[in-house]
Amino acid sequence: MQQNSSHPHKLLGVLIGGSGLIGGTLAHYFKTETPESIEIRAPSSKKLSIRNAGDIRDYLNRVRPNFVINTAIAPIDADGQLSFEVNYLGALNLARAAAALQIPYIHISSAATLPNGSNLTEEDQLPLSGALNNYSKSKLMVEKTLRYMHRTTGLDYTNIRLGVVYGEHDHKIQGFHRLFFSIADESMPVLFTKKGVMHSYSSSNKLPYFVHHVLQNRREFSGETYHFVDKEPVELANLILTIKSYLELKTPREIYIPYPLATSGKKFLEILLKVFSRIGLKGDLPAELLFLESFYKTQTLSSLKLRQSSFVDPMPEETIHTRLPSTVIYYLTRWSHQNLIATWNEEMIQPSSRDDDFRSNPEELLHSIHMDSTSPFRELRPLDP
């Protein structure tokens, strides 16, 4: 990659979707781990709307980056127009801009483009049809278009498919964290899956290292799709019961609800919500129920191609299970601060002495801060002439 002409010793990258879990983790990595070699810009939707081709052209023409990373997605339950404009047209126009600038384009995709099954490879894909949900359809169309542009325009791209993503600093309750929240909130009375259903999981903490490596080794990774998932898949029921045990909760009970009964229950709730909406009560089912069938069918992604590449896993021992302790503490603390949940063993979270003082003795806390922590930052004072 050519270096930025205005900063000859630094690469400049544009990250789309920086407010999400994946985008935020990537932005944090490049700003803290590569500050001397890579500058990352993550424009908000006010500066660059991915739905507006003119915004994309104008922004990238003005910034002239050395690479583009796209992590933006519409909500998984978005209607057809929003899914098409964000997931497909936005990704397409970013790719067209990257091709014109002759810079790498890193696209984050999803296992939603794959069928159910075990040990699926990068060559596997769902057949494109109108029967697919809007999220899967739009993400699948992007993958096909990127491959086409690589052949016809020389687009230098890498497509990275993720499984079920886990990690910290997700400001939204979605995906795996929706599952975790349902358990922590004791709103999952039984198991909406069956024994033996396996899924592949992706660590958001490891992904930035792979993206960085991909950018540094374009000859190997250009025009390729990679499954970025942990080596071993995980049984959904076992994961749910492990979280339950860790939180010392009584639910969910180890009772497996059959898929037909689960779908009937979902339809009943949809009807009930429509009735409530007529009397002014608004409610929505979790968007993840769009993939209810996936709770009952195995989908595991092969990581062989990734493991045979030049990339070396920086945290080979980390899995969804080894990450659970820190994940639990992080999200329980966050959700309790937001008053979203209160049903857990409070001994798991040790409040700081400052938290205790704020709750019980704010006058003394204020006095101590005035005495010790109100002097101007010395580093920001103007230098003496």
Half-sphere exposure of 129 (CA within 13 A, CB side): 6
Asked if residue 200 lies in contact with residue 111, where contact means CB atoms within 8 angstroms, the answer is: yes
The pLDDT score that the predictor gives to residue 158 is 98
Asked if residue 200 lies in contact with residue 300, where contact means CB atoms within 8 angstroms, the answer is: yes
Enter the DSSP assignment of 354.
H
Asked if residue 273 lies in contact with residue 208, where contact means CB atoms within 8 angstroms, the answer is: no
Half-sphere exposure of 361 (CA within 13 A, CB side): 9
| CA-wise closest residue to 141 among 154, 124, 152, 129 | 129
What is the rounded distance in angstroms from the CA atom of residue 314 to the CA atom of residue 206? Answer: 7
Give 74-89 as a DSSP string.
--TT--HHHHIIIIII
Q: pLDDT tens, 150-194?
A: 999 999 999 999 999 988 766 666 677 778 878 887 778 888 889
The pLDDT score that the predictor gives to residue 47 is 84
Asked if residue 142 lies in contact with residue 83, where contact means CB atoms within 8 angstroms, the answer is: no
**Cis ω on the peptide bond leading into residue 252 (within 30° of 0)?**
yes
The pLDDT score that the predictor gives to residue 163 is 95
The pLDDT score that the predictor gives to residue 359 is 65
Name the 3-class secondary structure at 13.
Answer: strand
Q: List the structure tokens of 370.
A: 């005035």
Strands (E), the chain: 11-16, 38-41, 67-70, 105-110, 117-120, 157-162, 164-166, 198-199, 201-203, 224-228, 234-235, 299-301
The pLDDT score that the predictor gives to residue 302 is 97
Q: Which residues of the chain have pLDDT under 70?
A: 1-9, 169-174, 265-291, 341-359, 373-374, 377, 379-381, 383-385
Backbone angles phi, psi at 311, to 5 degrees: -70, 135
| Residues in a beta bridge with 106 | 69, 158
Cβ neighbour number for residue 369 with a 10 Å cutoff: 12
The pLDDT score that the predictor gives to residue 1 is 62
What is the rounded distance in angstroms from the CA atom of residue 95 to the CA atom of residue 106? Answer: 9
CATH architecture for residues 1-163+201-232+299-318: 3-Layer(aba) Sandwich (3.40)
The pLDDT score that the predictor gives to residue 179 is 81
Domain boundaries, the chain: 1-163+201-232+299-318, 170-199+234-297+321-351
Let me know the angle formed at the C-alpha of 179 by 175 and 183, rounded to the nearest 5 degrees: 160
Length of the chain: 385
Q: List the structure tokens of 227.
A: 């499954």
For residue 13, CA distances in Å to 9, 125, 157 come to 13, 30, 14
| CA-wise closest residue to 110 among 191, 199, 5 | 199
What is the rounded distance in angstroms from the CA atom of residue 162 to the CA atom of residue 172? Answer: 18
The pLDDT score that the predictor gives to residue 333 is 78
| CA-wise closest residue to 161 among 105, 94, 111 | 111
Backbone angles phi, psi at 108, to 5 degrees: -95, 115
The pLDDT score that the predictor gives to residue 228 is 98
Residue 232 makes CB contacts below 8 A (sequence gap 6+) with 319
